[in-house]
Amino acid sequence: MSQDTSYHAPEIGEDMAFQSHDWMAERIGWGVMVLVIVAALLGLFAVGPMSWTTSTDTSGLLRVDYGRIQRQTAPASLKLDVDLAAVTDRAIELQLDQTFLEFFDIDSMQPEPAEAVATAQGLRLRFRAEPGQGRATIYVQLTPQAIGLRRTRLGLAGHEPVELSYFIYP
């Protein structure tokens, strides 16, 4: 009496062309996930090495450090480094254009300006300063109110302004 011990699996049809396309789609999906992770690590979605930049005016008297990637209604900051050679009448005058005021709410400044004057071009801020060598730093805390790619300008009175370019996520 012989017993058949072999196992017979049911026949399953295979479609190699479909499987090949499925594998290709899976590899593309993995590639997209890796690209999203790398972009996030570089700062293209929030904070990271590619999200911060520095812009300088043509005279070299004003340098602005800012995050070019922002989120609407999330706190943001600017760091303004002003060469003390720009001091006139014991003050530094900074001009913010109208678009800056439309796209951002200014929450605070350190030091606070001694004077703020609304002009047709935007807002002129006057900070007390002593002339000399070195640089003065002004910190600005602000909140983005717009969405999308935005360009604003700010600069020292009497000098070419610096153009700042932002991308603001919702």
Each residue's pLDDT expressed in tens, for the chain with a length of 170 residues: 556 667 777 777 788 889 899 999 999 999 999 999 988 888 777 777 778 899 999 999 999 999 999 999 999 999 999 999 888 889 999 999 999 999 999 999 999 999 999 999 899 999 999 888 889 999 999 999 999 999 999 999 889 999 999 999 88
- CATH (domain of 114): 2.60.40.1510
Whole-angstrom Cα distance, residue 81 to residue 65?
8
Task: Name the domain count of the chain.
Answer: 1
Answer yes or no: is 73 within a domain: yes
**Phi–psi pair at 106, nearest 5 degrees:** -85, 115
Answer yes or no: is 42 within a domain: no
| Identity of the amino acid at 123 | L
Answer yes or no: is 39 within a domain: no
Q: What is the pLDDT of residue 45?
A: 76
Q: What is the pLDDT of residue 2?
A: 59
Q: What is the pLDDT of residue 16?
A: 86
What strands, in cross-sheet order, belong to the sheet with 122-128?
69-71, 162-169, 148-156, 91-97, 122-128, 115-119
Q: Which domain does 66 fall in, by range?
A: 52-169
Burial class (CB in 10 A: 0-12, 13-18, 19+), 167: middle
Answer yes or no: is 155 within a domain: yes
The pTM (predicted TM-score) of the whole model is: 0.78
Answer yes or no: is 129 within a domain: yes
Answer yes or no: is 112 within a domain: yes
Answer yes or no: is 106 within a domain: yes
Answer yes or no: is 13 within a domain: no
Q: What is the pLDDT of residue 3?
A: 67
Cis peptide before 10 (omega within 30 of 0): no
